[in-house]
Amino acid sequence: MKVSLGRKVWRVVRNKYVICILAFVVWLSFFDRSNLILQFESRKELKHLQTDKKYFAAEINKNRSTLHDILSNNKNLEKFCRETYFMRKVNEDVFVIAYEKGK
C-alpha cells in the first residue's frame, strides 16, 4: 500500500507536537514582549550607541589634551581665552569679524 507524499505531510502537520512547536515559534516571533522585531530594533540601537560611545571617547581624549596644553603654559591659556571668550587686556580694543555662511 502506497501512501502519497501529501498524506505523509498532512500526518506530520496534524501531529500535536508539531502544532505546539509552530504555535510557540509564531508566539515568540510576533506576540511576545521581546519579539523578533524588537530584537532587531534593539540591535540597531545598540550599534548606534556603540558608535556614539566611540565618538565621545575620542572627543574626551581630545579635550583632555587641549586642557593639558592650556593649563601647562600661560601663553596658551591667554590665547585660548582671547580666541574663545574674546577677553582683552586693559585699554585694548577687540574687533570680531563675523562671516556670513553661504556666501
Query: What per-residue confidence (pLDDT) applies to 2?
Result: 59
**Range 1-22 average pLDDT:** 74
Query: What per-residue confidence (pLDDT) applies to 3?
Result: 56
Under a CB-based contact definition with an 8 Å cutoff, are residues 21 and 15 in contact? Answer: no
List pLDDT tens digits, range 34-55: 888 888 999 999 999 999 999 9
Which of 39-70 are b and which e, b meaning 16 or more Cβ less than 10 Å from the residue's Cβ?
Answer: eeeeeeeeeeeeeeeeeeeeeeeeeeeeeeeb
- Delimit the domains of the chain by residue range: 1-32, 34-87
The pLDDT of residue 60 is above 90: yes
Query: What per-residue confidence (pLDDT) applies to 63?
Result: 95
Under a CB-based contact definition with an 8 Å cutoff, are residues 70 and 82 in contact? Answer: no
